[in-house]
Structure 1
């Protein structure tokens, strides 16, 4: 049995169902992210793990113990909130030690753990400061230390970085991941930020309207989305309307050109409409006369070329379909201009058929 087992939980609020039949097995020390738009049920699931909400149906097991109806105080979980939730009238050290005091941990041990946590978050010199004397990033590190001070079995993080500016957010998410690995603590992280989820997770659960769309590694979620929602929600994506020409050969017509996918077309029929997807970075701008054996090659007309710093994004059209591609910025490369006809190519396996 996995360290954390969530089995077929549902959550209903009156006639509305916020979470539909959610299940996942999480191993000890794993970093799992629940990712999705606002209202998709991710925070509701986190609150059920914390014990703030009870599932309408289903069970939650921590380390072999059923905690579905166990009060929060007896679950041994650490929770970090979006709003920090620090006590303004307590110093940093007092905030970190508050949970230990409530748990009746001895004074000497409390002081030792507080020192340990201060060292862990690299705020030893700020132990006597108050929250209002600190930056947002420092406050969130204190909130993290307070959650870890009780040595919880599971760490729950509810969009802890959303109130911070971009640069601090990147730095702090790296610190959180480093701490999580150092302590080998099972962690569930909630966010709506795709980059955040992709950069720090062992696995990602993509949620939509209370249901799981896909679960997998960041690489699998990004490169091989299984549904239209996942494909469009994670990163930038070209979506093309096509018609199946030959299921056996994986041939699909887009506009006047026939493309080939390595995906099986077992669930489709010849003549059936379908949606194809391909990432902009999977497309190559071919030099005139280039040989592209083993790839799809299409002729498109350039609509726009945008300089975005390290990359250049080119928007083209293939019949009625828009195809964008990204290339690394090379100051020595001459780029096409609006109205030019260009040849683009991409591997068969990079063309996905969406469910």
Structure 2
């Protein structure tokens, strides 16, 4: 049996439903990310797991126990918030000890546990400081230590990195992942940042308007999106609109290309999704497809050169590795794009159907 099970969970505020019959099973020790734009229901789902919101319908089970209607303090859950939520009048050590004191743990156990947690987050020398004397990254580490100090069954992280600058976010997200693995704790991470989700998750739940568009590993979500929303929200993507030209073929902008077998009758509208890295200016044996186009813009990004290529009325993005010996093509230059049929993902299913 899965460690955490959400079954037919729904949440409505008056006539407005923000989470629609949500189902998910999470295994013990798994790191799962809820990913989606603002207002998609990801934080509401997290708050229902934590006990801060009651589901309108459905059940939530943790380790075989129904916790749907239990208060937060009866769920053995640790929560890390976006805004740190540290007590400004308490020292770092007292903040970490807070949950243990509320639980009535013995003083010696509290002292030992606080020392252990501060060492774990590498802030043992700052236990006597106050939150205002710490950087944003240090404050979030303290919030993480406070959540872990009570030995929760579940660690819930509600956009914990969004208030930090890019460099600190990068290092702290890896620290969070390392700690989660070291402790073997089950964790749910909420973010709207796709790079964060792809880099640290065992699985990702892509949410849109209160529904799970797709659940899968980062590899599956990125390379094999099942809906238009999942395809367009995760990573950079170009969409080619065209029509079926027979089995395994598609006509786009007056040019015919091969696509994964689709069984569509000739003339049926199709949409082909292409990642920038799938396209190349150089023919390779496996890359059977060719599209003629014109360079619109060239962006030099260091190790990668990103080109915008106009193909008829559509602009495609192409990422190629920087080759110091070969300058990129100039704006207005005619080029031929090459890609393999398997590199394209057909998205011919309407979004409403795909979400069912």
TM-score when scaled to structure 1? Answer: 0.96
Which of 259, 263, 269 does residue 265 from structure 2 map onto? Answer: 269
* Gap runs ≥5 in structure 1: none
Report if aligned partners of 2:78, 2:150 keep a CA contact under 8 Å in 1. yes
Matched residue of 1:333: which SS? coil
Match of 2:47 in 1: 47
Matched residue of 1:327: which SS? strand
- Report the RMSD for the aligned CA atoms in angstroms: 1.0
| 1:284-295 superposed matches below 5 A | 284-286=280-282, 290=283, 292=285, 295=288
Deviation at 1:291, TM superposition (A): 5.8
Report if aligned partners of 2:287, 2:338 keep a CA contact under 8 Å in 1. no
**1:345 maps onto 2:326 in alignment:** no
| 1:1-355 superposed matches below 5 A | 1-246=1-246, 248=247, 250-262=248-260, 264-266=261-263, 268-286=264-282, 290=283, 292=285, 295-354=288-347, 355=349
Alpha-carbon separation, structure 1, partners of 2:227 and 2:284:
33
Report if aligned partners of 2:41, 2:209 keep a CA contact under 8 Å in 1. yes
TM-score when scaled to structure 2? Answer: 0.96
Report if aligned partners of 1:292, 1:345 keep a CA contact under 8 Å in 2. no
Q: How many correspondences in the alignment?
A: 348
Alpha-carbon separation, structure 2, partners of 1:293 and 1:150:
55
Match of 2:354 in 1: none
Report if aligned partners of 1:18, 1:210 keep a CA contact under 8 Å in 2. yes
Residues 144-163 of structure 1, C-alpha deviations (whole Å, 9 max, x = no match):
00000000000000000000
Report if aligned partners of 2:32, 2:205 keep a CA contact under 8 Å in 1. yes
Alpha-carbon separation, structure 1, partners of 2:286 and 2:60:
52
Report if aligned partners of 2:42, 2:190 keep a CA contact under 8 Å in 1. yes
Deviation at 1:336, TM superposition (A): 1.3
Match of 2:353 in 1: none
Report if aligned partners of 1:10, 1:20 keep a CA contact under 8 Å in 2. yes
Alpha-carbon separation, structure 2, partners of 1:259 and 1:11:
45
Deviation at 1:269, TM superposition (A): 2.7
Alpha-carbon separation, structure 2, partners of 1:208 and 1:237:
18
Alpha-carbon separation, structure 2, partners of 1:202 and 1:340:
43
Change (3 A) 1:185 1:349: same
Residues 153-184 of structure 1, C-alpha deviations (whole Å, 9 max, x = no match):
00000000000000000000000000000001
Matched residue of 2:199: which SS? helix
Change (3 A) 1:104 1:291: closer
Alpha-carbon separation, structure 2, partners of 1:99 and 1:31:
23
Alpha-carbon separation, structure 2, partners of 1:348 and 1:119:
52
